[in-house]
Amino acid sequence: MRVGIVALLQESNTFIAGATTLAHFEQDTLVEGDEVRRRWADAHHEVGGFFQGLAEAKLDAVPIFAARALPYGTVKAEAFAELLRRMHTALDRAGPLDGLLVAPHGATVSEQYPDADGHWLGRLRQRFGPKFPIIGTLDLHANLSPLMVASCDALIAYRTNPHLDQRQRGIDAARLMARTLRGEIRTTMAAAFPPLAVNIERQLVAAPPCRPLYELTDTMLRQPGVLSNSLLLGFPYADVAEMGSAAIVVTDNDQSQAQRLVNNLARTWWERRREFIGEMIGVEQAVEQAAKLDGPVCLLDMGDNVGGGSPGDGTEIAHALHRRGIGPSFVCLCDPEAVERAQSAGVGASVKLRVGGKADRLHGAPLEADFRVRGLYEGRFEETQPRHAGITKFDQGPTAVVETSNGLTVMLTTRRMVPFSLSQLTSCRLEPGRFRILVAKGVHAPVAAYAPVCKHLIRVDTPGLTCADMTKLEYRHRRRPMFPFEPEMTWTVG
Q: Are 103 and 137 in contact (CB under 8 A)?
A: yes
Query: Regarding beta strands 226-232 and 246-252, do their DSSP bridges make them parallel or antiparallel, or are they unpaired?
Result: antiparallel
Kindly give the residue spans of alpha helices, DSSP state H, lying in 325-389. 336-345
pTM equals: 0.95
Q: At CA 200, angle to CA 413 and CA 204, rounded to 5?
A: 95
**Which residue, 105, 255, 247, 252, is CA-closest to 176?**
252
Side-chain-side CA neighbours of 260 within 13 Å: the count stands at 9
Binned average pLDDT, 10 residues per bin, the chain of 494 residues: 98 96 97 97 96 98 97 98 98 98 98 98 98 98 98 98 96 98 98 98 96 98 98 98 98 98 98 96 96 96 96 97 93 98 98 96 96 98 87 94 96 97 97 97 96 97 95 95 97 91
What DSSP state is assigned to residue 119? H
Q: What is the pLDDT of residue 389?
A: 78
pLDDT at residue number 50: 98
